[in-house]
Amino acid sequence: MKLTRLLAVLICAGVTGVVPACAGEGDVEAVSGATLDIEEIPVLQDQESTDVLVVWFSPNDTIRAAAAIAAEALDADLFEILPEVPYTAEDLNYSDDSSRATTEQRDETARPAIASLPEDLAPYRTILLGYPIWWGQAPRILYTFLESVDLSGKTVIPFCTSGSSSAGSSAVNLQNLTDDTVTWAEAKRLDNGSGADAIRDWANSLMADKEESGMQMRINDTPVNVVWEENKSVAAIRELAGNENGLTVQMSMYGGFEQVGPIGSQIVSNDEQTVTGPGDIVLYSGDQIVVFYGSNSWSYTRLGHITDPDASALEELLGNGDVTITIEP
């Protein structure tokens, strides 16, 4: 799989029509009784350029179905958290106080080993991270994952289903494992019986508040689509671009991965250590715009992200000499 950029979404779900949620063999009662009404799991291809990754864990196909549908809706990549030791039906026996899942959930220090981790999360700005609810919380293997990866500067959007429980404190407890630069949204519980259309609608709604702000941007004479952040720095850029000629910035190539140029004014900034990827637009030192066609790690304020053209076309636009960018209201 490709790993190129990031929003983090935690998925808790179960499925009927594919495999009963947390289903075991025979009549063994499972940890979760959640169900989704999904008849077919999409088969996805790696995306050429995406800043969304869906990470999921489930011992069966329930979360896989929800994760695949969400990834299809968002043109996202997928990564499955696989335990080093797979869970068996008996491991998930809800009525057995000595079962593996029950024992792990009762032990706050339990950290089940993961078979492998993503090679590179740097290019992602958004990650969907999927889990079922076990005993009112996310499985402990999610704790292992979050303590093993760097999500600095990314956004996490938790969502879950369960047999009867709400998301409760599951997402808050996961949030406590990450640093203050990670943005967490309120957890979303998918209702039992939710179908593929409902999951697609939910996934698409995640980006609704990041629709284009109305500002248009060109690189030389080429229009590009930008999803702008909602912060004071973007508001200041919008004000600078508000005159009849817009905001024109003469850019210069730097480092083989970015174009940088002065905006002519010092504006408000909120710099944080940030890992950037192709298409990212940031403010540097409060008075310079940087547009990336490669990747870097530095202290920036995020301004937006170019969604079209893709990374290879951006490299062609930005990697062959200095350019002029124009931003208009």
pLDDT score of 33: 53
What domains lie within the chain, and their CATH numbers? 6-209 (3.40.50.360), 212-328 (2.40.100.20)
pLDDT score of 29: 37
pLDDT score of 30: 39
The rounded distance, in Å, linking the Cα atoms of 293 and 75 is 20
pLDDT score of 22: 33
Q: Is the pTM value of this prediction over 0.85?
A: no
Would you give the distance in Å from CA 200 to the centre of its chain? 15
Strand partners, 291: 259, 281
pLDDT score of 214: 63
pLDDT score of 132: 87
pLDDT score of 27: 33
* Model confidence pLDDT, tens digit, residues 165-181: 777 899 999 999 998 88
The rounded distance, in Å, linking the Cα atoms of 53 and 156 is 11
pLDDT score of 257: 96
Q: Which pairing describes strands 77-80 and 52-56: parallel, antiparallel, or unpaired? A: parallel
Could you read off the pLDDT tens digit of each residue along the chain, which spans 329 residues? 444 334 455 555 443 333 333 333 333 333 445 567 776 666 665 655 678 889 999 887 777 888 889 999 998 999 999 999 999 999 999 889 999 999 999 999 999 999 999 988 888 888 898 898 888 899 999 999 999 999 987 888 887 777 677 778 999 999 999 988 888 878 888 777 778 898 899 898 887 655 544 688 999 999 998 888 878 899 899 999 987 789 999 999 999 999 999 999 999 998 988 889 899 999 999 999 999 999 999 999 999 889 888 889 999 999 999 999 999 98
Matching residue, tokens 């298409």: 279
HEC per residue, the chain: CCCCCEEEEEECCCCECCCCCCCCCCCCCCCCCCCEECCCCCCCCCCCCCCEEEEECCCCHHHHHHHHHHHHHHCCEEEECCECCCCCCHHHCCCCCCCHHHHHHHCCCCCCCECCCCCCCCCCEEEEEECCCECCECCHHHHHHHCCCCCCCCEEEEEECCCCCCCCCHHHHHHCCCCCCCEECCCEECCCCEEHHHHHHHHHHCCHHHCCCCCEEEECCEEEEEEECCCHHHHHHHHHCCCCCCEEEECEEECCCEEEEECCCCCCCCCEEEEECCCEEEEECCCEEEEECCCEEEEEEEEEEEEECCHHHHHHHHCCCCCEEEEEC
pLDDT score of 327: 94
